[in-house]
Structures are given as C-alpha cells and as structure tokens.
C-alpha cells in the first residue's frame, strides 16, 4: 500500500482505468462473438464500433482492431457465398 498521497491517488486512478479497460475489452469481445453467431449487419456494425472505440482509447492497438475486424468480415463473407 502506498504511503505518499500522490501514490495513493495514482493507485485509485489505475484501478478506475483498469476497470474501464476491462469493461471495454469485454464489450468488444462479446460483440464480436455475437456478430459471428448472428451474422447480421447490425451486430457487425456494433462490433466494429466497439473495436474502434477500444483502439481509440488505447485498450488495444489500432492494428489489432483492424486485424480482428478483417477476420470477422472474412468469416461473414465466407458464409454468405
């Protein structure tokens, strides 16, 4: 446990950030799974939005979001043919 006031505050901030990052990560993962299962345009759009937000906020890297979206679209296009 930190003794210095600024270190205590940083610990509080880190916990809040970690919780928010976990929420964003869980959200995009769930939406990706939903999009794969349902194969609807709305689900894909929601997954894309969540991935972009996670990348924008630094939860995942930009290229990781692009790769996940690319693989999602590849799966969906494969099932449509």
pLDDT tens figures, 22-76: 999 999 999 999 999 998 999 999 999 999 999 999 999 999 999 999 999 999 9
Report pLDDT for 61. 96
| Environment class of 36 (CB within 10 Å of its CB; exposed 0-12, middle 13-18, buried 19+) | middle
Could you tell me the residue range of the domain that residue 51 belongs to? 5-80
The Cα–Cα gap between 4 and 12 comes to: 13
3-state secondary structure of 69: helix
CB 32 within 8 A of CB 72: yes
Report pLDDT for 58. 95
The pTM of the full predicted model, rounded to 2 decimals, is 0.84
What total of structural domains would you count in the chain?
1
CATH assignment of the domain containing 51: 1.20.58.110
CB 75 within 8 A of CB 36: yes
CB 28 within 8 A of CB 6: no
């Amino acid at each position: 446990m930190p003794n210095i006031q600024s270190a205590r505050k940083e610990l509080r901030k880190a916990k809040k950030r970690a919780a928010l990052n976990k929420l964003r990560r869980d959200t995009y993962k769930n939406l990706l799974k939903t999009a794969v299962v349902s194969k609807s345009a709305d689900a894909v759009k929601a997954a894309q939005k969540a991935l972009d937000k996670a990348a924008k906020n630094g939860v995942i890297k930009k290229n990781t979001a692009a790769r996940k979206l690319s693989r999602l679209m590849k799966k969906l296009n494969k099932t449509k043919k």
